[in-house]
């Protein structure tokens, strides 16, 4: 699995692009819940495309259009793996307990977790 290390701010921009599926810098600026400078967003999107390789960049007319090069799930798995390794001594049970401990879970959430555990147990 590839190692994705994204900041909170980068994840915020990625979230917009994952939702829109493709977006210009202006589209991202317009969709953000807080106001950010156009040039700041442009610079960060360029970094996410060129250096971190989590976005594709396509020239359309005078503007660049950004598309996700990775899925939200790929980034989530990578970042959760990092948390597990660095903060929790690579302990999966500790990670799961920490994730679930302070959540208000619905019956549907609990059922989905039980189903996931049952699938894991049936593989053994």
**Residue spans per domain, the chain:** 8-68, 91-123
What's 8-68's CATH class?
A: mainly alpha
pLDDT in tens, 42-91: 999 999 999 999 999 999 999 999 999 999 999 988 888 777 677 767 66
CA angle 5-42-58, nearest 5°?
A: 90
Cβ pair 1, 78 in contact under 8 A: yes
pLDDT in tens, 7-25: 999 999 999 999 999 999 9
Q: End-to-end CA distance of the chain, in Å? A: 23
Predicted pLDDT of residue 38: 97
Predicted pLDDT of residue 1: 65
């Amino acid at each position: 699995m590839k190692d994705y290390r994204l900041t909170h701010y980068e994840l915020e921009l990625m979230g917009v692009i994952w939702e829109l599926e493709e977006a210009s810098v202006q589209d991202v600026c317009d969709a953000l819940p807080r106001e950010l400078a156009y040039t700041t967003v442009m610079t960060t999107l360029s970094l996410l495309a060129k250096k971190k390789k989590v976005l594709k960049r396509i020239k359309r007319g005078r503007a660049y259009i950004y598309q996700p090069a990775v899925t939200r799930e790929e980034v989530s798995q990578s970042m959760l793996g990092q948390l597990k390794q660095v903060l929790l001594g690579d302990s999966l049970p500790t990670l799961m307990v920490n994730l679930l401990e302070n959540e208000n879970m619905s019956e549907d959430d609990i059922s989905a977790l039980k189903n996931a555990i049952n699938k894991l147990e049936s593989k053994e």
